[in-house]
Structure 1
């Protein structure tokens, strides 16, 4: 596959446990992957990853609309149109509603909902104009039945679900799709440290979740649009 025929894939939260697996899954299959993350190299500029071929780093704050617009413009200028967006950036806070601080509410709204609105807004217009694009967001199974302490978190992820459903309706008639995966607890080092007594084998394998995400982003025309796909761990 020639370089110009390889798709351009933007992965947000690329330095996180899930994002890293998503980057690896796409790059190993010949895609050109741009890693957007607060901890990435580049300070807003697009720089090649020295350790991985076909991977670029770009330090981006996805809660900053102007930073997203600037980063996307750099991607389009240097690599071409964005074909795929996988929005892995997000965050979690556990707190009973009467105890949650304003800072934590702002954090959840910003990283889970505001960032989703910003990144989808940035890529959707060009994708619709070109008649092709794939977007996958990361929701949560907790939106189906939030437990105690998950109210604020689940509310922001439920807003993300609403965004997927609405935008999916807006792109009918063109080969642009937007879907979300709704995993239960993902098996990450951070989650293991937070819940040391849990049954890790029952959690979602991030590599398997990355494979599912990749399956929602085929190059050929794709019928799945507006799906909120529950991904449960082994029980």
Structure 2
């Protein structure tokens, strides 16, 4: 049975991805910061959790040592990891560069880019050993289309794409592929609350993103690496 390591697995997208991969027969290790969110996810998948197919690992993904420990904990429980699903990230924008604060710059880059380095670094050896390893990252449409006030987010997500393409070349001779998925607006409660007048029918459902990730994680996707795959819906 394949095993996946999921960062950001307790958010709206993470819950959909966790649900899809458990349904596809994976064992899933989810990192979390909020105990309340993890408890809710564990309750939703009580059978899988009871069988040991779903585990939670408290982890600050912006720091290397907690990520190393979380990956080691997942391998200890599952014996192997074939897939990384790096969903952790976040947006804090709306400010031009001339007024953006240092804590915003550092926080956004640490969460959206540096976290990806640590996740990749510590999962790669296990993905190599498992065979048909897959490293998958959530980037954003904002990595290729730029808007006023979103400079830090855009820089971090574009940096993530550079990381993905570099990793794809570094791992070219292995059986590990590396790709990023580029959503537009995902239909989540938080996005609905922040954009109450938007046409949500044009947005991308979390389940659609999960389905794309499921294909890219499959052994059928072995010829795709270094790609930034758009999933825009009609937005």
TM-score w.r.t. length of structure 2: 0.90
For 1:23 and 1:17, the matched residues in 2 are separated by: 10
Give structure 1 stretches of 5+ with no counterpart: 1-5
In terms of mean alpha carbon deviation, does 61-70 or 127-136 score higher? 127-136
CA contact (8 A) 1:183 1:232 kept: yes
Aligned length: 225
Q: Give per-residue Cα distances to partners, 1:62-106, cap 9 Å, x unaligned.
A: 111101111111111121111111001001011221221111111
Report the secondary structure of 2:97's partner residue. Answer: coil
For 2:175 and 2:111, the matched residues in 1 are separated by: 28
Report the secondary structure of 2:211's partner residue. Answer: helix
- 1:83 — aligned with what? 82
For 2:22 and 2:130, the matched residues in 1 are separated by: 23
Report the secondary structure of 1:91's partner residue. Answer: coil
CA contact (8 A) 2:140 2:157 kept: yes
Give structure 2 stretches of 5+ with no counterpart: none
Structure 1 stretches (4+) deviating beyond 6 angstroms? none
Q: Which one has a larger percent helix, Structure 1 or Structure 2?
A: 2
- 1:14 — aligned with what? 9
Report the secondary structure of 1:22's partner residue. Answer: helix
Report the secondary structure of 2:109's partner residue. Answer: helix
Q: Specify which of 28, 48, 60 is matched with residue 33 of structure 1.
A: 28
Post-superposition offset of 1:163: 0.3
- 1:92 — aligned with what? 91
- 2:203 — aligned with what? 203
1:24 and 2:19 correspond: yes
Q: Give per-residue Cα distances to partners, 1:207-226, cap 9 Å, x unaligned.
A: 11110011100135611111
Root-mean-square deviation (Å): 1.8
